[in-house]
Structure 1
Amino acid sequence: MPLTCFYCKSGESCFHNLPQICSSPQDACIIVQEHNTLAFQSSMWNGGTYQSCANSRQSLTGFLAFYFGATVTVEIRSEICKTNDCNAHLMPIRQAISNIRNGLQCPACYAPGFESYESTGGADQCAVVVGMLAQGGVAIPFAGWGCATRAACGIKTLESGVFTYKLTNVQCSPAPKAQTSSATRTLAWGPFILGSIVPRVPLFLPALLGLCLC
């Protein structure tokens, strides 16, 4: 018998008594929980949950995060299971994220400009991210740089609890040790120059993101 999983995404009308039948190569159920501050440019959180069938070989599990500065954050947790309807009540474990500085530092970019951001916890990569955010049939381009977990560096397409992320370019390098001065105005670090990988699109980003194409 084919596997069945519950389907639901935050903001949609979901009927948990009508699980969907998974099709090959989907061999697992997934639940993804997202918390972000992209819409607020502050410490206010926007969250949501996504449940569906999934291909376990192509599904990211565990925790991944991007930190585009002190107030622009994306944190995503996901879990998979392999029995019928097992994602109905399964919730990813939201472990407390360490806010202890880890001695590493990356340039961070978001409106109205860019600055240096000292990394915390397990975010030990500097990342340049370019792609699209989709929600409710609307897609907008975005770009940013900041600190990231290693798992975040492998994202291409991710259906999450709030947005669908379609990343066309993610480049990561090990984060360097924090400098004594917190201010920086450089447009590059390591082998990466942001201007060389951002596509030539109109230089605007909706206020939804609060990021900028630097």
Structure 2
Amino acid sequence: MTKVLVTLCVLGALQATAAAQNETGTPLACFYCKSGQSCHTVPQTCSPPQDACIIVQEHNTLGAENSGTYQSCADSRQSLTGFLAFYFGAKVAVEIRSEICKSGDCSAESTPSRRAISNVPNGLQCPACYAPGFESCESDGNLRCTGGADQCAVVVGTLVQGAVAIPFAGRGCATRAACGIKTLESGVFTYKLTNVQCSPAPKAQTSSATRTLAWGPFTLGSIVPRVPLFLPALLGLCLC
């Protein structure tokens, strides 16, 4: 029994060591950098269970327009990847794109450019509001969702930047990936969300004003009867 336990411990140690190595078997090293803070110019060696380099690019308009990039070692099994977004109003948004790679120094040369989210309405809508400094907010209207944001989200959490932490609450449209956030180190802020509730966004209502623009009952036949009435008057003017 003792030999079995020793063997398991050795195997566990070997697996943990392998997790921090790249595909060539050498220790994995990644650049560490966060916008607005000092960055390491030399790759930093990763420690188990970190098995990948992560690059997170953020663009937000939470009060002011901010963009930034975060790079570090990461555990690929615990990292969100791809595109996620919250939209708390027509001009209040958080867009984050995250990528990982498992080859040493893979984040050395460049960072992914911010993928522009489609601004085309997707036919859905959600109640929207944003309240920095508060833990709740009440919607005063609906927001038309765009692109891949097909969830209505209610969010409560904290924005952290350095030694400053600001509570906030928001409602609006969100991508499904955004609904799974608890803590996220990003390019501008660290997001610590204490409550995220998401539900499928309902279809947006079509206003009566929009419907009158359609070519419904209006046909060419509605114009033709007016032509004989107008033509004699025009001829009379020409004969004078």
More strand, by proportion: 1
Q: Distance in 2 between matches of 1:126 and 1:168?
A: 17
Aligned partner of 1:99 in structure 2 is 119
What's the % identity of the aligned pairs?
79
Q: Distance in 2 between matches of 1:61 and 1:114?
A: 33
Structure 1 unaligned regions, length at least 5: 182-214
Task: Please point out which of 68, 90, 96 is paired with 1:76.
Answer: 96
Q: What are the Cα deviations for residues 33-76 of structure 1, in whole angstroms up to 9, with x where unaligned?
A: 00000022xxxx31000000000011111100000010100000
Aligned partner of 2:171 in structure 1 is 145
Task: Please point out which of 105, 116, 119 is paired with 2:145.
Answer: 119
Aligned partner of 1:6 in structure 2 is 31
Aligned partner of 1:35 in structure 2 is 59
CA contact (8 A) 1:105 1:175 kept: yes
1:93: how far off? Answer: 4.4
The amino acid across from 1:34 in the alignment is E
More helix, by proportion: 2
1:98: how far off? Answer: 1.1
CA contact (8 A) 1:123 1:147 kept: yes
Q: Distance in 2 between matches of 1:133 and 1:88?
A: 28
Aligned partner of 1:210 in structure 2 is none
User: 3-state SS of the aligned residue for 1:57?
Assistant: helix
Q: Distance in 2 between matches of 1:4 and 1:161?
A: 20
Write out aligned runs for 1:1-214 (5 A).
1-16=26-41, 18-40=42-64, 45-110=65-130, 114-180=140-206
Q: Distance in 1 between matches of 2:140 and 2:50?
A: 41
Q: How many residues align?
A: 176
User: 3-state SS of the aligned residue for 1:114?
Assistant: coil
Structure 2 unaligned regions, length at least 5: 1-25, 132-136, 208-240
CA contact (8 A) 1:29 1:81 kept: yes
Q: Call closer, same or farther: CA 1:88–1:39 in 2, change over 3 Å.
A: farther
User: 3-state SS of the aligned residue for 2:56?
Assistant: strand
Normalised TM-score (structure 2)? 0.70
Aligned partner of 2:4 in structure 1 is none
CA contact (8 A) 1:80 1:87 kept: no
Q: Distance in 2 between matches of 1:106 and 1:146?
A: 5
1:135: how far off? Answer: 0.2
CA contact (8 A) 2:151 2:201 kept: yes
CA contact (8 A) 1:32 1:76 kept: yes
Higher RCO (Cα < 8 Å, 6 or more apart): 1
CA contact (8 A) 2:130 2:168 kept: no
